[in-house]
Structure 1
Amino acid sequence: MEAYRTLLRVPGVPAQAVGGLLAQVTQGVAPIGTVLIVDEAAGSLTVAGLAVAGFSLGAGVARPVQGRIIDARGPRPVLAATGAVHAAALVALVLGARYGVPAWTLVALATLAGLALPPVSVTMRVAWGQLADPAGRTAAYSLVFLVQELAILAGPLAFAVIVAAVSTRTAVAVVAVAAGAGTFALAWTVRGVRASTAAGPRSNPLRSNGMRLLFAVVVLVGGTIGALEVGLPALASERGAPAASGALVAALSLGGIAGAIGYGVPRWTVRPAARLVALLAAMAGALALVAVLGPLAAIGVALFLAGIALNPALTTASLLVDELTTAQAEAFGWLSTAIGVGGAAAGALAGVVGQRAGAAGALALPALFAIAGALLALPLTRPPPAG
């Protein structure tokens, strides 16, 4: 744990972690809240689905652009602008639903909230990566994903409490304001983060063969997540225990937390690319068990094991960015987009497969995506050319 203690002793890092956690609470809340609010206001689940799709599409499109600006100017202006617009758009969505604005306006506001989703994890990876030496970056990036996972868990819990006590609209507004405050706090504490001024062929991540290959691998990792998000609720419903879907998803998240904590402890000597292949292969093995095991409790254990490999795999992808490009923030943004694209495509595919072959068919997909990602990542293990 020494690597974590060293990082957390750096002035400003604990405050950045707290601000980053608060700033990310809408990541798990905004899609759920948008569905509930828009469905009630417009009387149409189709419109609600379009609003959530707009949110997700907006976030995916904006991430690389935000990253490029961070590389050029540093993270503070991006965080300040997106924090304000994201919170304002969600509050406007709540007010628009309350006062009966047209359905297309609600979809536009949800899309704007997605476009302005603050690049919190991108900023923390850049900031903490600059603070850590190469050997300590595994711990630094693991801590980023740990904070993100905790936010994704805490946000919906807080949302549920406020919904039960007051209303859905109030819950979305409160969480939006909290996320805006966290984003401003993070912006204030990252004053020392340097912009990337490097030029040359490695300054454009899309021109790097290695980066394009890494993006494809991460699309497949996102595919495992998207297929699970569809397959697990379908499985729970088939078993007559729909409430169990939350526990199954929580098992994956808890595994992710354990993996994020444990992965940063050793001082790794194995190159990141080889680690990525091994982690994806291990994740594929655990996800194969999800597809064949019977009892829901046993499936939960398999999901926990898969989660242990999932967050370290994403951490390792971030480490490969350090090797492959100097435009780190933009590359991190493309990784986020790749996860979203993979998740959306795999979710749609899992829905089709689940309709025809049941939940077991849908849950066969995550393991296939993971092993395909491991095989696709094998060329990254080749030593870089000399000079």
Structure 2
Amino acid sequence: MGRLPLGVTTLALFFGTQATTGSLETASTVSAAAMIGMAAGAPLQGQLLDRFAKPVVIVCFTVLQVATFVALAVAVNGGSATWTLAVLALCQGMTIPSLPSCTRLVLKRAVSAGEVDAAFALDTTLMEVIYVSGPAIAAGVTATWGPQGLFLGCAVLVAAGTIFFVRVTGARWLGPDPGQAERAPDKEDLRPRPHDSRHWLPAGGFVLAMALLAAPFGLIECALTQFGTEQGTGLSLTGLILSVTGLGSIAGGLAYGTVRWRTGPARRFVVLVLGQGAAITVVAVLPSLGVVWTGLTLAALCTVPLASICFHMLDLLSPPGIWMRMQSWGAVANTGGHAAGVTLGGYIATAYGSGATFALVGLCAFLAIMAAMPALLNPSVRRPEPAKVGAHAE
């Protein structure tokens, strides 16, 4: 409940501003301000979560988030200037409570080591459901109750969801960093220590890899739009394919979460990235309608499993003391990569067509593996997770 606004807020800002001002340019500016705020605020909140009591930090950011939503509702209803809406959108992005990262921390502590991958996969699938259903919710509520009703509804959901989350989890699951609280350093812990400079290369490279894997989402949106123009079908084809691929990603996440894997996260990461890149490359080489449908559907099956593995590998690469910060940088990589993909994809699709844009997606997959190589060679992500006693490994 508390995370539902994540799937609707950016679109709510876009729809609400456009409905109020009648300007797509203003709506784009306000939405971009929210994304910039998201990228700027997540690392700061991650650092605070690593240093102070997590329930307190989450509640403080929730209070600021609710206040920002209320201010946005008032501003949109009152027809405020563009700069006012942009500043409020920036504040909204900066004050989003890190419920996804905190949820992964709770799951990490609540299940055995061999079940973390499945728990992350199911949680990522839930987030995908939110993002897939978000556009319809945002459009429907905006059309029925107006943008101010959507903003006020988001405020209620964030407040109620966060209060429930904190009360249920509390200090038991949101205590100190897992690397500090759950075990003392020993020779079996292959993760680098916080002040060991070796951890910055694999962790930083992997965050860059996550950004390169997020860019294709924006690139594919632009490529599909251009492909629809080339085929003479317009935006209807784009919307239909995106809806089908969204359902495919959910199905892939559910299937992935039910399997206990023998291989370590590093090998699964490489296989999924190569599989997704190969499917899109075929689309670039043979851009017919049937190939586009098939290739994008196959690629979508890898989306949620790949996102789950990325956050799991960040967990394994994070030294004690900066766990929340690393998870926050992962979120920044997703947001920034998507935004960069949309920006670059718009230019490439217009200048060189949909085929070149699809080909760029395949290139991103190759570059992501190169950027992630130091992390993939790290012993902590090459080992398979220990299975529970008596559990069967698929």
Q: Please classify the TM superposition score into its range, dividing by the shorter chain length.
A: 0.7 to 0.9
Distance 1:362 1:312 in 2: 24
Equivalent of residue 209 in structure 2, options 204, 217, 242: 217
The alignment status of 1:202 with 2:193, answered yes or no, reads: yes
Letter aligned with residue 275 of structure 1: R
RMSD (Å) for aligned C-alpha atoms: 2.4
Could you tell me how far 1:166 is from its partner in structure 2? 3.5
Instruction: Kindly indicate whether residue 284 of structure 2 is the aligned counterpart of residue 291 of structure 1.
Output: yes
Offset of residue 324 of structure 1: 1.6
Is it true that 1:115 corresponds to 2:115 in the alignment?
A: no
Q: CA deviation at 1:65?
A: 1.9
Q: Which amino acid aligns with 1:159?
A: A
* Range with bigger deviation, 200-209 or 316-325: 200-209
Q: Report the equivalent of 1:157.
A: 136
**Residue 240 of structure 2 corresponds to residue 261 of structure 1:** no
Q: Is the 8 A contact 2:33 2:87 kept in 1?
A: yes
How far the C-alpha of 1:160 sits from its partner, in A, is: 2.9
Are the structure 2 counterparts of residues 341 and 131 from structure 1 closer, same or farther at C-alpha, using a change threshold of 3 Å?
A: same
Deviations 1:98-149 (A, max 9, x none): 1122221111111111011121211111110111222111111112201111
> Aligned to 2:71, which of 83, 88, 92?
92
Is 1:339 the equivalent of 2:330?
no
5+ long unaligned stretches in structure 1: 1-21
Matched AA of 2:194 = S
> Are 1:321 and 2:314 matched, yes or no?
yes
Distance 1:293 1:149, change over 3 A: same
User: In the alignment, does 2:248 pair up with 1:248?
Assistant: no
How far the C-alpha of 1:356 sits from its partner, in A, is 0.6
> Does the CA-based 8 Å contact 2:63-2:159 persist in structure 1?
yes
Give the deviation of 1:97 after TM superposition.
1.8
Distance 2:57 2:20 in 1: 32
Which residue does 1:330 correspond to in 2? 325
1:368 alignment partner in structure 2:
363
User: How far off its partner does 1:69 sit?
Assistant: 2.1
In the alignment of these two chains, the number of paired residues is 364
Matched, 1:234 2:226: yes
1:49 aligns with 2:41: no
Post-superposition shift, 1:302?
Answer: 2.1
2:216, 2:338 within 8 Å by CA — same for their partners in 1?
Answer: yes
3-state DSSP class of the match of 2:193?
Answer: helix
1:23 maps to: 2
Is the CA contact (8 Å cut-off) linking 1:216 and 1:338 kept in structure 2?
Answer: yes
- SS for the counterpart of 1:243 is helix
- Mapped to 2, the partners of 1:47 and 1:223 lie a distance apart of 24
Code of the aligned partner of 1:112: C
Fraction of identical pairs, as percent: 24
What do residues 232-279 of structure 1 show as CA deviations (whole Å, max 9, x unaligned)? Answer: 233234432312222222222222212221222222221211211111
One-letter amino acid of the counterpart of residue 253, structure 2: A
Aligned letter for 1:226?
G
Distance 1:243 1:330 in 2: 40
Q: Deviations over 1:343-384 (max 9, x none)?
A: 222221111111211223222222211122134334433353
* 2:300 equivalent to 1:307: yes
Task: Find the residue that maps to 1:118 and give its secondary structure.
Answer: coil
CA contact (8 A) 1:71 1:330 kept: yes
Question: For residue 274 of structure 1, what is the aligned residue in structure 2?
Answer: 267
C-alpha contact 2:279 2:295 (8 A) present in aligned 1 = yes
How far did 1:189 drift? 1.8
Q: 1:54 & 1:383 partners in 2: Cα distance?
A: 37
1:382 equivalenced with 2:377 (yes/no): yes
1:136-147 equivalent positions in 2, closer than 5 A: 136-147=115-126
Q: Report the TM-score when normalising by structure 1.
A: 0.86
Partner-residue secondary structure (3-state), 2:101: helix
**Distance in 1 of aligned mates of 2:210 and 2:273:** 10
Greater displacement, 294-303 / 79-88:
294-303
Stretch of structure 1 that moved more, 344-353 or 171-180: 171-180
2:100, 2:339 → 1: CA distance? 20
Structure 2-normalised TM-score?
0.84
Query: Which stretch shows the higher mean deviation, 66-75 or 52-61?
Result: 66-75
State the partner residue of 1:33: 12
